[in-house]
Amino acid sequence: MRYFLGIEVVQKDDGIFICQRKYAAEVIERFGKMNFNPICNPIVPGQKIGRDEAGDKVDSTLYKQMLHLPVAKRIMRYLKGTMEYGIWYKKEGEAGLVGFTDSDYAGDVDDSKSTSGYVFLMSGGAVVWSPRKQPIVTL
């Protein structure tokens, strides 16, 4: 079995690699962005994105899943530049569970709410992660 629920699974002697290369290519093709130059990060580091109340009208049937057109274009370029990325689970990787957590403080420019998240790794690959916008504003 090479694909499972849209995820490509490559089994090798030293571990398992999973990625969504095929799905990323389909998304890029669906929105007609194959001619974009690839980039390696989805957003300009340090850039804050707010609501675009006075933004340009776009065809809702084509871009109904995209909220901010310039940001969406950058994400398409990011997908194109990272299609070969995935998660590598090493056969002889660290057997224990390793966790990391992080948060920002009042990072949302529109409502000053914070975002926090966590990731847990096993055998060198992520097994669970969750970013979450906090429901209240902290002081």
The answer to whether residue 42 is domain-embedded is yes
Identify the residue whose tokens are 């975002």. 115
- Write down the pTM of the prediction: 0.65
Q: What is the pLDDT of residue 139?
A: 66
By residue range, what is the domain housing residue 61?
21-85
Q: What is the rounded CA–CA span in Å between residue 36 and residue 75?
A: 11
Count how many domains the chain has: 1
The answer to whether residue 51 is domain-embedded is yes
Residue 15's identity, in one-letter code, is: G
C-alpha distances in Å from residue 4, one per residue of 12, 14, 59, 88, 133: 16, 20, 33, 16, 30
The answer to whether residue 75 is domain-embedded is yes
Greater confidence (55 vs 2) lies with: 2
**What's the mean pLDDT when you consider all of the chain?**
83
Q: What is the rounded CA–CA span in Å between residue 59 and residue 75?
A: 18
Q: What is the pLDDT of residue 67?
A: 55
Mean per-residue pLDDT, 69-77: 81
Query: pLDDT (tens digit, 9 = 90+) per residue, 78-133?
Result: 999 999 999 999 888 677 889 999 988 888 888 888 889 999 998 889 999 999 98
